[in-house]
């Protein structure tokens, strides 16, 4: 069967097929990715009304791509008080925010309880707010630092009110690239193991991929296939999120720019390779909102959300520090020809606009 015959028939694609997809022209690729997207969701584009909080930037690890953690290039260490976080959420929930997304650094100074207590306080004060928190990299840090197994940390998260896990820390699974860009961080197999345990506990999560730095297309396909294999076993991933590398204020020097063509191809290829992950998210904070809107035509069906405040990608140059007004978000989706659908964190539809 040729690649085009496989695409026409919807046959599961192999590693070699994935590489060959990058050789297709963008519009051929887009035609098949869009057909798949439309067969699943028509013209609906999902988003949620969420608030990102990054409670500390003090980090034990040194990832070359990271501009968020306090280091020589960003010597402004901070750790938020729990009351400060609760006050932000008091305000945010009064304006209709339904999810808090909590991702931060691997801070060895706070103790494990600082991480867990904030979840408990949030759930007690805002029982209806969905808490999406702790990447597998943070879980790995907490397990190692405080001598618990992954299962023990994950159970503590659940006991204290975490509902789902974000997809961060996946970066690129290829061990050679990973060693260069974030040596010492959670290994690829442990990242996958942590999500596997989380799914076994009946919980859902997302998966990211950081691209546009030193990796090659082959590494991206390998990354997608490792996720597809786990998803075959657990079914616990909701969304795949390709994160476009932001290059400012960090230690990872990259000479070549990723073209918009390559970014759109990557969304499209993700839609075609990941036949078992329901949603492909064009996270506008890293792709820019303009390209995220175009990505709706190339397989992406989710644009994340209003965010409100964002410190990780904006530290590295993204224009996402203040999130986006809901009205503007809706206008942009509608005027680009799509139907905005507010979803909850687990993709139940809340409102079709």
- The site for ligand V47 (CB under 6 A) is made up of 65-67, 103, 135, 166-169, 171, 206, 208, 210, 241, 243, 245-246, 250, 283, 286, 304, 312-313, 316
Least Å distance, CB 263 to ligand V47, is 12
Give the length of the chain.
353
**For residues 55 and 167, which CB has a smaller minimum distance to ligand V47 in the complex?**
167
Least Å distance, CB 346 to ligand V47, is 12
**For residues 18 and 212, which CB has a smaller minimum distance to ligand V47 in the complex?**
212
* Residue 204 neighbours by CB under 8 Å, 6+ apart: 164, 165, 236, 237, 238, 346
**For residues 21 and 170, which CB has a smaller minimum distance to ligand V47 in the complex?**
170
Q: 148 with 26: CB under 8 angstroms?
A: no
User: For the purposes of burial, counting CB atoms within 10 Å of the CB of 65, is it exposed (0-12), middle (13-18) or buried (19 or more)?
Assistant: buried
Least Å distance, CB 167 to ligand V47, is 4
Q: In the bound complex, which residue of the shown chain has the CB atom lying closest to ligand V47?
A: 168
Supply 69's token pair: 């953690």
**For residues 213 and 228, which CB has a smaller minimum distance to ligand V47 in the complex?**
213
Least Å distance, CB 302 to ligand V47, is 9
Least Å distance, CB 91 to ligand V47, is 22
**For residues 150 and 245, which CB has a smaller minimum distance to ligand V47 in the complex?**
245
Pairwise CA distance, residues 261 & 29, whole Å: 11
Least Å distance, CB 8 to ligand V47, is 32
Least Å distance, CB 19 to ligand V47, is 23
**For residues 221 and 243, which CB has a smaller minimum distance to ligand V47 in the complex?**
243
**For residues 28 and 262, which CB has a smaller minimum distance to ligand V47 in the complex?**
262
**For residues 7 and 105, which CB has a smaller minimum distance to ligand V47 in the complex?**
105
Least Å distance, CB 100 to ligand V47, is 12
């Amino acid at each position: 069967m040729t690649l085009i015959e496989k695409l026409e028939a919807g046959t599961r694609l192999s590693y070699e097929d994935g590489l060959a997809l990058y050789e297709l022209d963008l519009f051929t690729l887009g035609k098949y990715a869009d057909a798949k997207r439309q067969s699943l969701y028509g013209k609906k584009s999902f988003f949620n009304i969420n608030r990102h909080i990054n409670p500390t930037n003090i980090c034990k690890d040194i990832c070359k791509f990271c501009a968020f953690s306090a280091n020589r290039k960003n010597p402004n260490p901070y750790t938020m008080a729990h009351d400060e976080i609760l006050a932000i959420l008091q305000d945010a929930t009064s304006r209709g925010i339904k999810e808090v997304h909590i991702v931060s650094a691997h801070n060895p100074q706070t103790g494990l309880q600082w991480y867990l207590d904030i979840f408990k306080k949030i759930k007690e004060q805002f029982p209806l707010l969905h808490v999406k928190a702790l990447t597998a990299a943070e879980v790995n840090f907490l397990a190692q630092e405080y001598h618990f197994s992954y299962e023990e940390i994950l159970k503590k998260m659940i006991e204290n009110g975490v509902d789902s896990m974000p997809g961060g820390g996946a970066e690129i699974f290829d061990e050679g690239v990973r060693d260069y860009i974030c040596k010492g961080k959670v290994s690829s197999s442990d990242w996958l193991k942590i999500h596997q345990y989380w799914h076994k506990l009946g919980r859902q999560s997302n998966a990211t991929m950081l691209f546009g730095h030193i990796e090659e297309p082959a590494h991206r396909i390998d990354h997608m296939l490792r996720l597809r294999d786990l998803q075959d076993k657990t079914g616990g991933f909701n969304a795949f999120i390709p994160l476009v590398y932001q290059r400012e204020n960090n230690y990872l020097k990259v000479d070549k720019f990723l073209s918009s063509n390559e970014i759109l191809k990557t969304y499209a290829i993700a839609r075609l390779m990941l036949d078992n992950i329901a949603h492909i998210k064009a996270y506008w904070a890293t792709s820019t909102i303009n390209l995220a809107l175009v990505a709706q035509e190339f397989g992406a069906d989710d644009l994340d959300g209003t965010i409100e405040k964002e410190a990780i990608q904006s530290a590295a140059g993204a224009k996402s520090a203040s999130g986006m007004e809901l009205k503007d978000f809706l206008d942009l989706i509608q005027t680009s020809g799509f139907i905005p659908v507010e979803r909850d964190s687990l993709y139940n539809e809340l409102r079709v606009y």
